[in-house]
């Protein structure tokens, strides 16, 4: 049962007492042991109150895919923050209507930036509200959200659950003093400069848990995380195995936490899906070209390809395998070019690749997991 509790803590955003009281009380009954390991190894805080149990999962390194995937614009994040501010002053089970919320949000943007006459703005707000409903920050009591898309005068009745107060993490410092995004990460270990070993351990464990891979830094003076993992791989693997079924793979230029087949935790790669399949096939194409010396790796095993060459190879992979994809990916309405664009975005989103104006930089993970379509004969 202990392993199940760790998996739940790592994969659940908030375990609500109302939704799963049995699991809530199991976490509560085992909180002493859970807190000890999670705090020591990851520096994570386990919050337990009469409403919920929540593990504040903070990454060791911020990655592109870690954002809210339901949001498409920065403005949606802004609206969401204003929603949290609005709910802060509401009592649990207190009701409010959409027009009150929309007016509150509109007044906090610079004049003219948000207008509910705009379909785009209304659509952004609906994305925010759908996300809040999904994680039980609010409940919908009456009305139809979709009607708001068609008419800004449409009303919807909501109820505050009180869970929104625990959605945002707490900070050790006033965030108004922060000057850049890095300050948010560094604030996590404020006043711990004298104990760099703890900081390095917790950051390394976080990166293995939440990132697709850990790689040596190009700046050797900052290459702490990968070096720590390489030097303490035995102890690290033992710690992770005590929480869930996995193996730690450490190579000369990368480290990965590989889940065993019977272990399902949150977002994993690969999943069932056409784009993931195409990514695996693309990995295989890269491997073939490397074996034929038509492509070469840098000293740290990062593959550097011109952006134009990358897109051309992706187009070749899509064209060659499109007939093997599900029917919706073969329809004329979805062009091969659009499929390539989606595939390219997936590589960026998962952190398998970075880009600049001219080149694409593929990390060693593309050599770790490969695949091919195989014809199954009945």
pTM of the shown model: 0.84
Whole-number Å distance between alpha carbons of 231 and 119? 55
pLDDT class of 241 with cuts at 50, 70, 90 = very high
User: Minimum mean pLDDT among 142-146, 201-205, 331-335: which range?
Assistant: 331-335
Nearest to 49 by CA among 162, 173, 170, 171: 162
What's the whole-number mean pLDDT along residues 194-216? 86
Contact 139, 92 (CB under 8 A): no
Q: Give the CA dihedral 208, 212, 218, 222, nearest 10 degrees.
A: -20
Per-residue pLDDT tens for 63-72?
Answer: 877 888 889 9
Whole-number mean pLDDT of the chain? Answer: 87
Contact 292, 355 (CB under 8 A): no
Q: Over 50: is that where the pLDDT of 349 sits?
A: yes
Per-residue pLDDT tens for 275-313?
Answer: 999 999 999 999 888 877 677 787 778 899 999 999 999
What's the whole-number mean pLDDT along residues 100-109? 96
Structure tokens at 42: 């990851």
Q: Give the CA dihedral 132, 135, 141, 145, nearest 10 degrees.
A: 40
For residue 5, the model assigns a pLDDT of 83
Residues linked to residue 48 through DSSP beta bridges, in sequence order: 53
Whole-number Å distance between alpha carbons of 131 and 265? 21
Per-residue pLDDT tens for 127-141?
Answer: 999 999 999 999 999
For residue 333, the model assigns a pLDDT of 62
Whole-number Å distance between alpha carbons of 305 and 20? 49
Of all residues in the chain, what percent carry a pLDDT higher than 70? 93
Going from the C-alpha of 176 to that of each of 78, 82, 276, 353, the distances in angstroms are 16, 16, 40, 33
Residue entry with tokens 């694409």: 360
SS3 145: helix
Per-residue pLDDT tens for 158-184?
Answer: 999 999 999 988 777 788 888 887 777
Name the residue with higher pLDDT: 195 or 318: 318
pLDDT class of 1 with cuts at 50, 70, 90 = very low
Structure tokens at 196: 């760099």
Helix axes 233-241, 196-210, angle to 10 degrees: 60
Residues 6+ apart with CB under 8 A from 224: 200, 203, 204, 217
For residue 190, the model assigns a pLDDT of 57
Residue entry with tokens 């039980």: 136
pLDDT class of 373 with cuts at 50, 70, 90 = confident
pLDDT class of 231 with cuts at 50, 70, 90 = very high
The two beta strands, 246-250 and 138-143, are unpaired
Largest CA distance in the chain: 66
DSSP structural state of residue 352: S
pLDDT class of 148 with cuts at 50, 70, 90 = very high
Q: Give the CA dihedral 146, 148, 151, 157, nearest 10 degrees.
A: 120
For residue 191, the model assigns a pLDDT of 56
Residue 331 φ/ψ, nearest 5 degrees:
-70, 145
DSSP 30-96: THHHHHHHIIIII---EEE-SSEEEE----SS--GGGS-TT--SHHHHHHHHHHHHHHHTSPTT-EE
Of all residues in the chain, what percent carry a pLDDT higher than 90? 49
Contact 149, 126 (CB under 8 A): yes
Contact 343, 279 (CB under 8 A): yes
Whole-number Å distance between alpha carbons of 162 and 50? 11
Whole-number Å distance between alpha carbons of 178 and 184? 7
Q: Over 80: is that where the pLDDT of 264 sits?
A: no
Q: Give the CA dihedral 262, 268, 272, 278, nearest 10 degrees.
A: -130
For residue 194, the model assigns a pLDDT of 46
For residue 326, the model assigns a pLDDT of 85
């Amino acid at each position: 049962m202990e392993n199940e509790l760790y998996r739940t803590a790592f994969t659940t955003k908030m375990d609500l007492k109302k939704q799963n009281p049995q699991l809530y009380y199991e976490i509560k009954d085992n909180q002493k042991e859970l807190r000890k390991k999670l705090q020591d190894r990851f520096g994570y805080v386990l919050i337990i109150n009469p409403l919920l149990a929540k593990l504040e999962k903070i990454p060791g390194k911020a990655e592109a895919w870690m954002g809210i995937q339901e949001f498409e614009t920065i403005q949606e994040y802004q609206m969401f923050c204003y929603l949290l501010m609005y709910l802060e002053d509401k009592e649990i089970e207190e009701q409010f209507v959409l027009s009150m919320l929309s007016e509150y949000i509109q007044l906090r943007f610079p004049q003219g930036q948000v207008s509910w006459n705009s379909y785009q703005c209304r659509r952004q707000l609906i994305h925010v509200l759908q996300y809040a409903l999904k994680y039980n920050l609010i409940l919908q009591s009456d009305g139809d959200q979709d009607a708001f898309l068609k008419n800004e005068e449409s009303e919807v009745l909501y109820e505050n659950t009180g869970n929104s107060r625990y959605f945002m993490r707490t900070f050790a410092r006033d965030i108004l003093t922060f000057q850049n995004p890095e300050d948010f990460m560094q604030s996590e270990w404020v006043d711990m400069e004298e104990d760099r070993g703890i900081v390095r351990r917790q950051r390394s464990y976080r990166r293995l848990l939440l990132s697709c891979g850990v790689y040596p830094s190009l700046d050797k003076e900052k290459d702490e995380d990968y070096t720590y993992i390489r030097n303490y791989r035995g102890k690290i693997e033992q710690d992770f195995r005590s929480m869930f079924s996995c193996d730690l793979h450490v190579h000369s230029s990368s480290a990965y936490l590989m889940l065993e087949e019977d272990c399902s935790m949150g977002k994993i790669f690969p999943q069932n899906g056409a784009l993931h399949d195409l990514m695996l096939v693309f990995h295989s194409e890269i491997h073939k070209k490397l074996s034929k010396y038509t492509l070469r790796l840098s000293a740290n095993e990062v593959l550097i390809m011109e952006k134009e060459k990358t897109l051309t190879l992706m187009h070749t992979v899509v064209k060659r395998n499109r007939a093997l994809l599900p029917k919706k990916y073969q329809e004329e309405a979805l062009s091969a070019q659009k499929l390539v664009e989606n595939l390219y975005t997936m590589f960026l989103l998962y952190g398998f690749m970075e880009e600049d104006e001219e080149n694409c930089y593929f990390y060693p993970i593309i050599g770790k997991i490969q695949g091919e379509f195989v014809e199954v004969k009945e």
